[in-house]
Amino acid sequence: MNERSIFLDALDRTDPAARRAYLDAACGADAELRARVDSLLAAHDRAGGFLETPAAPPQSVLSKPSSAVTVVAAAPASRSSPKVRVTDSSQRAFSDETTALLRRRLVWVATVTVCPMILALFPTLHLAFLDLRIACLVVCLTCVGLLHALRTPTRRQLRLLELFMFGSVIVQMTVMPAALMLERARANDFPTVIMDGYFIQGVWVLVIISYGMLIPNTWQRALVLLLPAGLAPYASTYLLGLYEPKVREAYDALHHGTPFPVVLVAVAEALFYSHILNVSRWELYRAKKFGQYRLQEKLGSGGMGEVYRAEHELLKRSCAIKLIRPGIDADPAAIARFEQEVRATAQLTHWNTVEVYDYGRTDQGVFYYVMELLRGQNLDELVRRSGPLPPGRVVYLLAQVCAALREAHGQGLIHRDIKPANIFAATRGGAFDVAKLLDFGLVSHTTGGTSDGEKGVISGSPAYMAPEQGTPGAPTDARTDLYALGGVGYFLLTGRSPFDGATIFDQIAAHRHAAIVPPSQRIPGVPADLEAVLLRCLAKSPADRYPDAGSLRKALSACRCAAEWDAEKAAAWWAAHETEPEEPAPAPTPGPATMHREPSVATVKVRF
């Protein structure tokens, strides 16, 4: 095991004696390795924990996101006392982002520069500057090739390419007009000499302004580069005047002895642009950071917030972050209640429940929590892309969800929003069709067997809402989740929810009063024993349903089709479908097993 793995495993052992025993076994006789790991652990403790702590107490997490630090082990001064340097990981990550942006900008600049250079070659093949043009073009093309060839270029390498690219443009656009100035000055064409001088200044102004706006820089570095650049055209004109007195004579004859320092003004503007853009990027970067997590791309949105792909800055581990912003549907009281539920959910450890890593609240009032990033498809996507599932696979997935619900219900947590979109068929650790129960956003506690949800409020997904859940003030319990899970099974078998309705209120009313159409009447081939299990889950009265998730799991496992799907078949299916598109596929062609789009599968909240 390497130093990092031992360090992370040691963090999981909070008991000092257990940690020492683990380190003794993991490090063995390697005293230097043991010293480095001990130093990392000590730095972690001094920094207040630079790794996230799942389900941390609210007073330590929710008040303010912890400051992010990176621990870098330096070469030890001795075998017993290695040095450890603690640096700000925010600055480091911002620097990495700047490097990536610099590479993209240089590719763009190179493309914009090379194309005109190539086009300008053909009508001027007879001119004396052909060698210079070709040399500058070769430099730019070499820079383009290196930008594409270097997979992970360093900042130093990119800065060198930056200088070569801009330098080649400046050389070409300065040397050529300067040579023309000498030629025309000797021919006493003084007005054209002055125009050539202005052209040189214009080229420098264009390059300086473009550099300030396009290339990410601090204003200090930009000043070091641009100030000499701003003086260069005046210095070149002065040197031309020393080399050829007629150049100086041209300026004196037309009273252009002291030209306006337009290039230096351009330097000032470029410094301003560089500073403003750099500060804006930093502020945007900070706005997209949540604790030690960096937002990347938006994955979707739900009833109470948005979900983004993110990365832990230190571990470089991908994860998903859900943001819940205060608003019309998320008042401060609801947010406070949600924080409490997330803390409770974070205690769930079952393999089939999505793992919550961390949570917190920003200074702007944005509450967020961090969970594992899953690879696969939620069941809604799975059915809409591939059609109704075979009965054995339905049992295989539902039984896993039952295991997750058994733990949650045992801790007094009722999910209240079970639907196909909140169950994920994931690939984890080499296993396939691993059911993951997601989004405990409407979770409620049970007191005396019934939930303590908000009074006078209906919350949930109408397509899968139990009759009691659609009745304001009616008590709900674990059997409410089993009803919804039966509805999910119905959808997996038939491709449609148990009840139709033009509006959400029609759907809620149908759950309470309408007779359900058995799955076998929707699609042929549904096993009778599995149908009986699902219809018992969908009973109107909670007393007629299975009493708990464990009982439902036993009933599912007893179905004869349960043996028709296993881990090997799941692996084979995913191997055959691993090239599925990321976006939802179009609905299948209508037929006996056609998909049916419900009017509402979204999570809603209705106050009475």
Reference 264, options 234, 286, 288, 222; nearest CA is 234
Q: Do 185 and 244 meet the contact criterion of CB atoms below 8 Å apart?
A: yes
Give the 3-state secondary structure of residue 330.
strand
Question: In 255-353, where does DSSP find H-type helix?
Answer: 262-287, 332-345
Spatial distance between the Cα atoms of 428 and 505, rounded to a whole number of angstroms: 39
Q: Cβ contacts of residue 420 below 8 Å, gap of 6+?
A: 378, 379, 380, 382, 383, 488, 491, 492, 601
3-state secondary structure labels for all residues of 40-106: HHHHHHHCCCCCCCCCCCHHHHCCCCCCCEEEEECCCCCCCCCCEEEEEHHHHHHHHHHHHHHHHHH
Catalytic residues: 417
| Residue 160: other Cβ atoms inside 10 A | 14
* Residues 484, 465: Cα–Cα separation, whole Å: 6
User: In sequence order, what are the residues at sequence separation of 6 or more whose Cβ sits closer than 8 angstroms to the Cβ of residue 152?
Assistant: none
Token representation of residue 166: 């801009």
Q: Among the residues of 122-261, which ranges form H helices?
A: 130-149, 155-186, 190-214, 219-243, 245-253
Query: Percent helix, strand and coil across the chain, each rounded to 5?
Result: 55, 15, 30
What's the CA gap between 516 and 595, in Å, rounded?
18
**Residue from 557, 554, 570, 553 nearest 404 by CA:** 553
416: nearest Cα among 454, 382, 370: 454
| Angstrom distance (rounded) from CA 205 to CA 134 | 24
Query: How close are the terminal C-alpha atoms of the chain, in Å?
Result: 59
Distance (Å, whole) CA 121 – CA 51:
57
Please report, for residues 38, 73, 178, the alpha-carbon distance to residue 79 in angstroms, rounded to integers and kept in the order given. 12, 13, 63
**How many angstroms separate the CA atoms of 191 and 515, rounded?**
95
3-state SS, one letter per residue, for 459-480: EECHHHCCCCCCCCCCCCCHHH
Q: Which two tokens stand for residue 175?
A: 């040397």
The rounded distance, in Å, linking the Cα atoms of 560 and 544 is 23
H/E segment holding residue 554: helix 549-558
Please state, in angstroms and rounded to a whole number, the distance separating the CA atoms of residues 346 and 52: 13
Closest CA to 65 of 291, 312, 222, 242: 291
